[in-house]
Amino acid sequence: MSTTPEILPNEPLNAPRLPLSPDVLAERLARLKHDFPDLFTNEGRLNPAELQRLAGDGETERYEFRWHGKGDAKRRAFTPTTAALNFDAARSVNPGRARGNLIIEGENLEVLKLLLSSYRGQVKCIYIDPPYNTGKDFVYSDKYTQDKRPYWEQTGVTEDGVKVDTNSDADGRYHSNWLNMIYPRLLVARQLLREDGVIMVSIDDYETDNLRRAMDEVFGEENHVATLVWEKGRKNDAKLFSVGHEYMAVYAKDLQALKDVKTVWREAKPGAKEIWDEYLALRKTHGDDDKAVEAALTEWFRNLPAGNSSKKLARYRRVDKNGPWRDRDISWPGGGGPRYDLIHPITGLPCKVPERGWGISSPDEMQRQIALDLVVFREDESEPPFRKAHLRPVADELDPENGLDEEDENATADPDDAGLAMQVRGSCIYKQSQVAVKALRKLMGAKVFPNPKDYEELAKLIQYVTGGDTDALVLDFFGGSGSTAHAVLKLNQDDGGNRQFITVQLPEEIKPKEAAFKRGYRKISDITIDRVKRVLAGTGDAAQPLDAGFKVFKLVKSNFPRIEFAPDPDKTETDNLAALKAYIQAKEASLFNILPREQIQDEVLLKCGFQLDYQLERMTEVLENEVWRVRDRQTLPREAIFCFDTLLTEPTVEWLKKQTCRVILLEGALDTTIKWNMRHALGAKFIAF
């Protein structure tokens, strides 16, 4: 993590001295060498022949998914980045209430690598809508020096935005170009997901097969959850068939992990929320009198007009402590369920066993559900009992180890409220694309973005695949118009949740002829930021301003200079080592005498593992230097003390040596004595950056 670590005699003198993101390739090789040292040569290099022999794979022909440039694309995913993120206060909105919401302007592969330092394994849901490969849409270029100014020059000198490549269908590597764009980004994105995380990727006909094969390779074919079809409307000018649909590939990071914790996804049926609200009102009136509540709820159902969505759920007219419920079959769907004796509590005789077997896995589990009041016996043993199905299900009703009745398994709908989980979602979505176009035009005051995704549908999908987790972190690294961020804000507004979004968008140039340019936007990321700003302000369909905010960060060159030193072949190694140290010290002196703390703290803290919603506290007991305590709000919160002064007084050093958390200092501020004392006192908790 240091820019000037201890230089060992056998270390190359021209080694780079700059902070990096995690070196994932080195991590993978280190893990492999730790577990299988016999696969490496005496010089420490991986021996591919030994690896092949271990796998017992001597075949030269096998099923593979290959394309031109795949190897380079994979290496790009695992190569550390030397970039940084700088906070953009001017374009942030209510940053004090951001609570983890971020919009990052920058090339997304570099941004994803930076996020690995502190967000690895933290993201619950990823949704992306990458550029479609239509022959007109652009493909991100990972080499901005080809036929155009470098990326850093484009973003650092002008505010017009980055010019990106098109991918002509006449190009002989048409599909390869697209795969080389998406593949490394998927590889990095997987590492950001939690073990119970889910990724959803929208795509159309041009690359759906290649996307599936790439995702099978990155996430594992066994982790494919479903491929959804989104029908957005018919095109009457089509010559043969109207292809008005898109696809959405859904993968779990570890589908078995979801199964191990008995994950069941459900959503509400139309009208469910209205029933629940009426039930709560009746509880206030009748208290714990279940019979009175049942009678009043039955009357309420009777008075609903024909065709009302709640009236279709009138079977939920009985109530208990868990709310309205209906009866459901207790047999195993499809047959083949367990068969055992269940004694009727009144007659003392075994109840009739359903033809398809019991829908509850074992006698002990049956007794447990009876004790939970989830099983209701009939008058005698001549008929099997039935199970309760609550309007707001309790966890035991959705245990996948017990059979669910066919109505629950096969029902599909498109609810307006996602607060009551009651049914499995279907794999087809029917909603006109013009709905999203009109909603965005109303919000922005003009048509400034083509083909935006429907934020309402995204909100339902995010709520569904996160299992109602109201603290879920949601990532979109092809941010576009900001539909995913809008969806997260809508969910929080609906249920009071604290979900966070991270949206990444390239500062792609908007051409002067486009409507967005005429409205004052110069980059796509300008639209992304302005849309979320308007949502927070209550513009468009929002009923009122939202009590939330977001921070904007911009991808920039590292604030730390690249060290380029060529040893003099005519000098001794000792002289070259001394010259290198002097060179580094001169570089750092010129840097740290100019840059303020605010300009480097985001880069340092992010690369030290702190998420970008960290909180700072000035340590006022230290008088001679500016010392800060930093904390963030991860599941396991991190804490550290840092000081970026270039000169440390003796009292400050003594105070720092007594700390129990990590201490982060600038290497350029330390002489040999201070560094030795800090390492002796703090051990691994001391970080010289």
Q: Is the pLDDT of residue 418 over 50?
A: no
The band of 110, judged by pLDDT with boundaries at 50, 70 and 90, is very high
Question: Pick from 556, 578, 613: which residue ends a domain?
Answer: 556
Q: Is residue 189 part of a domain?
A: yes
Same domain? For 260 and 279 the reply is: no
pLDDT in the model for residue 164:
75
Mapped onto helix, strand or coil, the DSSP state of residue 406 is helix
pLDDT score of 260 = 84
Mark whether 537 and 589 lie in a shared domain. Answer: no
Give 322 or 541, the one with higher predicted confidence. 322
- Radius of gyration, CA atoms only, the chain: 30
pLDDT at 12: 38
CA distances from 668 to 557, 587, 593, 689 (A): 20, 9, 10, 8
For the record, the structure tokens of 384 come out as 């099997």
Question: Which strand ranges, in their side-by-side order, compose the sheet holding 639-643?
Answer: 615-618, 628-631, 639-643, 662-665, 686-688
Q: Does the pLDDT value for residue 641 go beyond 60?
A: yes
Given this model, what pLDDT does residue 411 score?
A: 34
Same domain, 166 and 295: no
**What's the mean pLDDT in 547-552?**
94
Residue holding tokens 């050093």?
653
Last residue of a domain, one of 556, 591, 607: 556
Q: What is the pLDDT of residue 402?
A: 58
Q: Is the pLDDT of residue 562 over 70?
A: no
Residue at 392 is within a domain = yes
Secondary structure (H, E, C), 491-530? HHHHHCCCCEEEEEECCEECCCCCHHHHCCCCEHHHHHHH
Alpha carbon 470 to chain centroid distance?
14
* pLDDT for res 3: 39
Residue 249 within any structural domain of the chain: yes
Q: Are residues 356 and 399 in the same domain?
A: yes
Residue 147 banded pLDDT, cuts 50, 70, 90: very low
Of the listed ranges 23-37, 49-63, 496-510, the least confidently predicted one is 49-63
Q: Which of 498, 527, 556 is the last residue of a domain?
A: 556
How much is the pLDDT for 518? 92
pLDDT band at 578 (very low <50, low <70, confident <90, very high): confident
Residue 447 has pLDDT above 80, yes or no: yes
Helix (H, G, I), strand (E, B) or coil at 533: helix
pLDDT for the residue numbered 543: 63
pLDDT exceeds 70 at position 2: no
Task: Looking at mean pLDDT, say which of 265-269, 412-416, 544-548 comes out highest.
Answer: 544-548
* Distant-in-sequence, close-in-space partners of 474: CB < 8 Å, separation ≥ 6: 123, 124, 125, 126, 127, 462, 466, 484, 487, 488, 499, 500, 501, 502
- Residue pLDDT, tens place only, 607-623: 888 999 888 999 999 88
Distance, in Å, from the CA atom of 461 to the CA atom of 128, rounded to the nearest integer, reads 13
Burial 83-113 (b: 16+ CB within 10 A, else e): bbbbbbeebbbbeeebbbbbbbbbbbbbbbb
Model confidence over 336-362: pLDDT tens digits? 899 999 999 999 999 999 999 998 989
Within-domain flag for 28:
no
Q: How confident is the model at residue 527 (pLDDT cuts 50, 70, 90)?
A: very high
When mean pLDDT is compared across 17-26, 70-79, 627-636, the lowest value belongs to 17-26
Tell me the mean pLDDT in the region 662-670.
86
* pLDDT value for 422: 57
Residues 382 and 436 occupy one common structural domain: no
Same domain, 105 and 216: yes
Q: Which of 9-18, 313-322, 536-545 has the highest mean pLDDT?
A: 313-322
Mark whether 311 and 455 lie in a shared domain: no
Q: Which residue has the higher pLDDT, 47 or 326?
A: 326
Q: Which of the residue ranges 124-133, 258-267, 488-497 would you say has the lowest mean pLDDT?
A: 258-267
Q: Is the pLDDT of residue 563 over 70?
A: no
- Quick one: what percent of the chain has pLDDT higher than 70? 82
Mean pLDDT of 224-230: 92
Is the pLDDT at 54 greater than 70? The verdict is: no
Instruction: Flag the least confident range among 13-22, 207-216, 385-394.
Output: 13-22
Residue 172 pLDDT greater than 80, yes or no: no
Segment among 162-171, 211-220, 343-352, 424-433 with least mean pLDDT: 162-171
> Are both 256 and 291 inside the same structural domain?
no
In this prediction, residue 551 has a pLDDT band, given cuts at 50, 70 and 90, of very high
CA–CA dist 593, 502 (Å, integer): 33
Q: Which helix (H) or strand (E) holds 686?
A: strand 686-688
pLDDT exceeds 90 at position 531 = yes
110 and 159 in a single domain? The answer is yes
Domain that includes residue 240, residue range: 70-265+426-556
Does residue 53 lie in a domain region?
no
Q: What is the mean pLDDT of residues 17-30?
A: 71
Q: What would the mean pLDDT of 534-546 be, rounded to a whole number?
A: 80
- pLDDT score for 619: 93
Give the model's pLDDT for residue 484.
97
Q: Are 57 and 525 in contact (CB under 8 A)?
A: no
> Residue 656 has what pLDDT?
92
Q: What percent of the chain has pLDDT above 90?
A: 44
- Quote the pLDDT of residue 635: 59
User: How many residues are listed for the chain in this entry?
Assistant: 689
Q: What is the mean pLDDT of residues 378-395?
A: 89
Nearest to residue 471, comparing CAs of 496, 447, 450, 446? 496
Among 351, 340, 359, 371, residue whose Cα is nearest residue 400? 359
51 in a structural domain: no
The reply to whether 178 and 92 lie within a common domain is yes
User: Do 319 and 446 belong to one domain?
Assistant: no
State the chain's mean pLDDT as an integer: 83
Same domain, 342 and 360: yes
- Maximum C-alpha span of the chain: 103
Q: How many CB atoms lie within 10 A of CB 574?
A: 9
**Structural domain contains residue 48:** no
CA distances from 374 to 350, 371, 393 (A): 19, 8, 11
Which has the minimum average pLDDT: 327-336, 408-417, 630-639?
408-417
147-152 average pLDDT score: 63
CATH of the domain at 246: 3.40.50.150
Could you tell me which residue, 588 or 32, shows the higher pLDDT? 32
DSSP helix/strand/coil, 198: strand
Comparing 75 with 50, the larger pLDDT belongs to 75
User: Which region among 144-158, 196-210, 385-399 has the lowest average model confidence (pLDDT)?
Assistant: 144-158
Q: How many domains does the chain have?
A: 3
Contacts of residue 435, Cβ cutoff 8 Å, sequence gap at least 6: 454
Question: Does residue 156 lie within any of the structural domains?
Answer: yes
Alpha-carbon span 645 to 626, nearest angstrom = 7
